[in-house]
Structure 1
Amino acid sequence: MQWEGISEFVYVAENESFTLAAKKMTVSTAHVSRQISALEARLKIKLFYRTTRKVSLTEEGQVFYQHCRSVLDGLDAAERAITNLQSKPQGKVKLTAPVTYGEQQILPLVNDFMKHYPDVEVTAYLSNQQMDLLEGGYDLAIRLGKLNDSTMIAKKLGNRTNYICASPVYLEKHGTPQNLADLNKHSCLLGTLDYWNFSEDAKERKFRVSGRLRYNSGFGLVDAALKGLGIVQLPDFYVQTHLQNRELVSLLDNYRAPENGIWAVYPQNRHLSPKIRLLVDYLAQHLIPIHIN
């Protein structure tokens, strides 16, 4: 009984006409009129003002309409959710990711995903700038580190670790720093920031560093460290192989900053899409954690 007349009421409210509502519902005008009359009798309120020329909501009708519209929208969303769960992923996906991490870690997995789902089309834009997903029409973004407060949905895919390291040749010539203050005596290879992140006494600390080299390229900084030009702080995916091959040495491990997150971020209206849901799950499942001994 609670549902009877609700759809008819919403159609009449939105079309301001019993006749138009009946046409859109493919039922008779008499049926719509009976349902509205029964609904008003049940609620003991008048929902519409009726004249020969116009139908409009009463004050009570306006309040009731807002709630009924939300209920019908919820039912539509529920039906779409069930349909999407049963659907195979297909259509276009537009994503963005940081340049190096996207090249090394994300795009190879996206390629594997596309082999499993041939009806999916992917456009990827790699940028170290944080793109506006709604403005750019993106379905998905891969982001590293701490997230800003947002209305977006975020799923954690894994963690990354920043390492302080230098080549054995550099350390043999200039010595090995034992604490953060020792960094002031060394040539530090700088990225886009003037400070490095550490953990000291269980608290995160930013320590200002300096040097004669500054690049906005992780690969350029790795190469400089390998050639003995100084000490560098970089995420694990830049230095993993070189640390394992002893081409670089990890330093100040007791001061290493906590791991930070690798995230999939997407607009709320994308979370029911099979292609987005499956791609995010695929990345979370196959993104292999980096372990450096």
Structure 2
Amino acid sequence: MNAWDGISECIAVAECQSFTGAATQLGVSIAHVSRQITALETRLGSKLFYRTTRKVTLTEAGRIYYQHCRQMRDGLDDAERAISTLQDTPRGKLKLTAPTTYGETVIAPLINDFVARYPDLEVQCRFTNQKLDLILEGFDLSIRLGRLDGTPSAIMSQRLSSRRLYVCAAPDYLAKRGEPHSLSELSRHNCLPGTLDYWRFEEEGRERTIRIHGSITANSGQALLDAARKGIGIVQLPDFYVDPHITSGELVPILTRYQPSDEGIWALYPANRHLSSKVRMLVEHLGRHLG
């Protein structure tokens, strides 16, 4: 058995926690992954994984071996990226993650334009509102919105643009319930929460948070937007949700004197990886259009 045999399979199983997921990621059969892992464990004389019908987890020896293997693969990736910087044309694979709605409506069209211009590039997009571990899951680039609290030192960030939060409601709602002109009046209104039970404001240069409650709670900005457009209640949402509806008059921005400062839209990438030309050029492309 070659010393490199089974390493890709070991990394994939460790990160997917599944032989099936590893096979899908690598584009091979489950049987091939299983054979490679078994042969690797035999060669090492140590069990690397605990296997159950529901989950696959690393043993202590497996964790140590995975960490070293991942460093070796990252080194190989760095070597390939270093060569790719000598080329002016982005090519190869690039793995990216972004928030779901913002990714689907704003980032995806820009990615599509970029790939149309550079057809030798293969971009794998994962749109999710979960904050994924870029290094552990092998992402080259992540788009994040808002504050970067708790970003690891191993992650570099670059500001691409900004977003603005609006509190708004439909004209029908305001006609029935009246328009609030102070933060204290929100307690008398149907304020529709998202994943948090408070909204952020600025008053006399200081940040304030106001706890809110309403008849609908949703972890989806689109769901809250639809409720606001139908006159059900008041929402606080980023500009990319509400801008068209404010322009059309479907929604009316309120409490604008308490509007919080604009938040960043960021590109994040692992600091310990060579920034390849394809990542650099994509970040520049996003920055130009988002800015």
Normalised TM-score (structure 1) = 0.69
Task: Report the secondary structure of 2:135's partner residue.
Answer: helix
Q: 2:252 aligns with which of 249, 253, 256?
A: 249
Matches within 5 A, 1:1-293: 84-147=85-148, 148-150=150-152, 151-288=154-291
Q: What is the alpha-carbon distance in structure 1 between the residues aligned to residue 123 and residue 248 of structure 2?
A: 36
- Displacement of 1:269 after TM fit? 3.9
Task: Report the secondary structure of 1:213's partner residue.
Answer: coil
CA contact (8 A) 2:82 2:274 kept: no
1:235-255 Cα deviation digits (max 9, x unpaired) = 001101100001000000000
CA contact (8 A) 2:144 2:268 kept: yes
1:276–1:270: structure 2 CA closer, same or farther, 3 Å change rule? farther
CA contact (8 A) 2:267 2:283 kept: yes
CA contact (8 A) 1:161 1:236 kept: yes
1:207–1:85: structure 2 CA closer, same or farther, 3 Å change rule? farther
- Displacement of 1:149 after TM fit? 3.3
1:212-234 Cα deviation digits (max 9, x unpaired) = 21011111101111111111000
Q: What is the alpha-carbon distance in structure 1 between the residues aligned to residue 189 and residue 163 of structure 2?
A: 26
- Displacement of 1:82 after TM fit? 8.6
- Displacement of 1:118 after TM fit? 1.2
Question: Structure 2: 5+ residue runs without aligned partners?
Answer: 1-77
- Displacement of 1:153 after TM fit? 1.1
Q: What is the alpha-carbon distance in structure 2 between the residues aligned to residue 85 and residue 237 of structure 1?
A: 37
1:81–1:94: structure 2 CA closer, same or farther, 3 Å change rule? closer
Count of residues in correspondence between the two structures: 212
Task: Report the secondary structure of 1:193's partner residue.
Answer: coil
Q: Computing the radius of gyration over CA atoms, which structure comes out larger, 1 or 2?
A: 1
- Displacement of 1:86 after TM fit? 4.3
CA contact (8 A) 2:161 2:266 kept: yes
1:101-155 Cα deviation digits (max 9, x unpaired) = 0001101000000011111101111100100001111110000011133221111
Q: What is the alpha-carbon distance in structure 2 between the residues aligned to residue 97 and residue 82 of structure 1?
A: 27
- Displacement of 1:81 after TM fit? 5.8
Question: Structure 1: 5+ residue runs without aligned partners?
Answer: 1-76, 289-293
CA contact (8 A) 2:170 2:228 kept: yes
Detail structure 1 runs of 4+ shifted over 6 Å in the superposition.
Answer: none
Q: What is the alpha-carbon distance in structure 2 between the residues aligned to residue 83 and residue 267 of structure 1?
A: 17
CA contact (8 A) 1:270 1:276 kept: no
What amino acid is the match of 1:123? Answer: Q
CA contact (8 A) 1:271 1:277 kept: no
What amino acid is the match of 1:149? Answer: T
Q: What is the alpha-carbon distance in structure 2 between the residues aligned to residue 94 and residue 152 of structure 1?
A: 15
Kindly report the root-mean-square deviation, in angstroms, between the aligned alpha carbons of the 2 structures: 1.9
1:186–1:119: structure 2 CA closer, same or farther, 3 Å change rule? same
Q: What is the alpha-carbon distance in structure 1 between the residues aligned to residue 236 and residue 142 of structure 2?
A: 25
